[in-house]
Chain A
Amino acid sequence: MSGVEEDGDRMTSALSLQQHCRSIRASILRMAHDGKTPHVASCLSSVELLAGLYFSALRIDPVRPEESGRDRFLLSKGHAAMAQYATLCERGFFSRDLLRQYATDGGALAEHPSPGCVPGVEAATGSLGHGLSIGAGLALAGKTGRDRYRVFVLLSDGECNEGSIWEAAIFARRYGLENLIAIVDYNKWSAMERTESFLEPLAAKWRAFGWEAAEIDGHDVDAVTTSLHSAPLQTGRPTAIIAHTIKGKGVSFMENDLEWHYRSPDANDLRRALAEVNAPAAVPVFTA
């Protein structure tokens, strides 16, 4: 295969991934609107990372979501559940009808995922600082047990305040968990303030804990998939991918506005936002 054709293939797949991203963004916006729930901006910053995982990096089969040798993904920043639900749905883990149950009384999909709520959700999260330890346990089992797999854990930047993250970081290095990959959705905001002033130098922190670390543009799907596929960056060491992102990415009036950590879009907001994300026509509107 010639270099030109390879580039062509990559271009095609990147375009398709971008279409998925637009569709996922549209689903997130509708869920936030219909469910009247917060965290829409935290979800929008994660979209390319989740799409890169579920459509490229993860060795998974939506038809056999519990296959024992599958790669694992843990959404440690559980408040981005809408983004995970939308991505799982987009990837074919469950029907679009199920998304309508989001944040409804008695529905399967809560604001933070519960255990086994839908196929593809590996763990219940919502309290920050839990996912990396669970991931380390899964990764250890994936090194010593019968099946070999990789474990990806998506952290928020604010979550890196939690002491348990660094307990897990020490543990993962100590036990050489090269099959553990932490991705930090570094959107530069915690729930109340900008994060760089107290988190930087973030990549150096992970390296100081004995991890390999890479920094990428978390909205460049090509960079995202390349980095996810290249992990582990070094044998015997866990990998941290610091993904620089924008909180609220894709909707101009939500980007870098902390209001959208809390607000849910009203009908007018939704209309404007959907126009901006330019979702493929195939995505059905499930708002009445």
Chain B
Amino acid sequence: MRNAFIRGLSALAESDDRVVLLTGDLGYKIFDDFARRFPGRFLNAGVAEANMIGVAAGMAMAGFRPFAYSITPFATLRCFEQIRNDVCYHELPVTIVGVGGGFSYGPNGPTHHALEDIGVMRTLPNLAVVCPGDPIEAELSVRAAGSQQMPVYLRLGRAGDPVVHRQAPEFRIGSAIVVREGSDCTLISTGGILSAVMDAAALLRDLSIDAAVVSMHTVKPLDGGFLERCSKQDRPVFTIEEHGLAGGLASAIGEWFVQRNMACRVEAIAVGDHFAHRSGSQNFLRMQEGLTPEQIAHRVAKTMEVSVC
């Protein structure tokens, strides 16, 4: 998704000279081409994320469209108050780009994991929270963010995220994408776990469970029309996210239903309330949390009361 992001940003910068990229000293080599093509529009703000966000806000006040990039926890948690006061309070078109959603930086350990960023960023008024499901969505999300008049948080995976979409879907902030039709249950995914959810749906097919898969790439604002249809359909909904339960996709959807006194059977599949103390790859850490395709399929099938061997 990192490369897809910079591809999308380069295309955007080509057509909009207000677009500038700031990084918190991360992205070795991947921005070289951008810096060469757009002189003066690439800035290394140094290892100083709070200042980077303030600078981005100042530039946006003067008419620029800054994208501020770092590894997710540093781009969100370290400079949370700057995002809140300088960007969101002023309703400025700044896009905060967090690379490394969930366990993307698995072996780097919990300091680099991003399991609370959606929850934290979702608390901020005026901020759209966008978690593309694959590189295709990531590239499209950059243009969508660039055309917003408001702040956006873009939560990316890292490198090597599998491509899910065979062709580019229509991508609009706040509009869920149905990636696979299905009639027995609905799997709602956000972020880079999408390909694992698609694999889980394929496994469920073998168990004669026809699961729909949806990329709910925008966690704020949620696609209310889609959720309303979920409520009306008499089929179970599963949310799957590489994020803690508190504040994430399941939490957002739950809030949406309770705010409207609307009923829907929803089961949350998310990361537990703890730090990962053991070293491990993204796949290992997903397995620890029940987020592999097999584990997701097993859990869905169990709820659907289909025996699994």
* Residues of chain A at the chain B interface (Cβ within 8 Å): 68, 114-115, 122-127, 129-130, 132-142, 144-145, 147, 163-164, 167-168, 170-171, 174-175
Contacts and interface: CB of A to CB of B under 8 A. Distances in A.
A141 B17 CA distance: 13
B40 to A, nearest CB: 6
Contacts of B58: 133-141
Interface stretch (B84-92, B209-217, B247-255): B84-92
B53 interface: yes
Contact of A124 (B40, B54, B89): B89
Contacts of A175: 43
A168 B51 CA distance: 6
B48 A167 contact: yes
Interface of B: 40, 43, 45-46, 48, 50-64, 66, 81-82, 85-86, 89-91
Contacts of B50: 129, 133, 163-164, 167
A123 to B, nearest CB: 7
A170 B48 contact: yes
A123 B62 CA distance: 12
B85 A171 contact: no
Main SS at interface, chain A: helix
Q: Among B51, B82, B89, B90, which residue has the most Cβ atoms of chain A within 10 A?
A: B51
Given A133-B82, A141-B64, A124 B59 contact: no
A136 B89 contact: no
Main SS at interface, chain B: helix
13 contacts: A125-B85, A129-B50, A133-B52, A133-B58, A133-B86, A136-B51, A136-B58, A138-B62, A164-B54, A167-B51, A168-B51, A168-B54, A170-B51
Contacts, number: 99
A126 B84 CA distance: 12
Nearest to A136: B55
Q: Among A132, A137, A139, A163, which residue has the most Cβ atoms of chain B within 10 A?
A: A137
Given A133-B54, A140-B59, A170 B46 contact: yes
A164 to B, nearest CB: 4
Contacts of B66: 137
A133 B55 contact: yes
Contacts of A140: 43, 55, 58-59
A76 to B, nearest CB: 10
Given A123-B61, A135-B58, A137-B56, A174 B46 contact: yes
A136 B54 contact: yes
A137 B51 CA distance: 9
Given A130-B85, A133-B51, A133-B82, A123 B90 contact: yes
A271 B55 CA distance: 44
A167 B59 CA distance: 17
B66 to A, nearest CB: 8
